Amino acid sequence: MNIQIHTLEGIEIAELQSESKLLQTAADGLDLLGNLYYQGYNKIILHEANISDEFFELKSGMAGEVLQKFSNYRVQLAIIGNFSKFNSKSLNDFIYESNQGRLVCFVANLNEAILFLSGN
């Protein structure tokens, strides 16, 4: 895993880059959060390709558990991807609701993620 730092108006945003799945279980989410939080990052970008498909199956509870941890620690998260491929009304509703807040956002590209996390 590599961490690419993006800086916008003095705000540092950590983009995680990897060839493998970084989030395969809820425990992976907590480990990732703790690791990045310890390094001083509270704005994180993940790519959908680095997240297990189970995360996007809401009945598994993985998304709720992982995102609740990010929320508890007040760490902002942007997930970049094409979520229409999951073809789930409940996931679409979940994404819509998440995007109404300020902690978690599902976006289509890196620019949208950086703008969300920088508060613009």
Domain harbouring 42, CATH code: 3.30.750
pTM given for the model? 0.94
Q: What is the mean pLDDT of the chain?
A: 94
- In this prediction, residues 98-111 reach a mean pLDDT of 96
How many domains is the chain built from?
A: 1
The 3-state secondary structure of 2-61 reads: EEEEEEECCEEEEEEECCCCCECCHHHHHHHHHHHHHCCCCEEEEEHHHECHHHHCHHHC
Give pLDDT, residue 119: 86
How many C-beta atoms lie closer than 10 Å to residue 14's C-beta?
19
Give pLDDT, residue 120: 65
Residue from 67, 50, 61, 55 nearest 103 by CA = 67
Residue 61 token pair: 């509870």
Q: What is the pLDDT of residues 3-45, one digit of tens each?
A: 999 998 888 999 999 999 999 999 999 999 999 999 999 999 9
Q: The domain containing residue 22 runs over which residues?
A: 2-118
CA distance 4 to 46: 11
Query: Using an 8 Å Cβ cutoff, are 4 and 15 in contact?
Result: yes
Give pLDDT, residue 102: 93
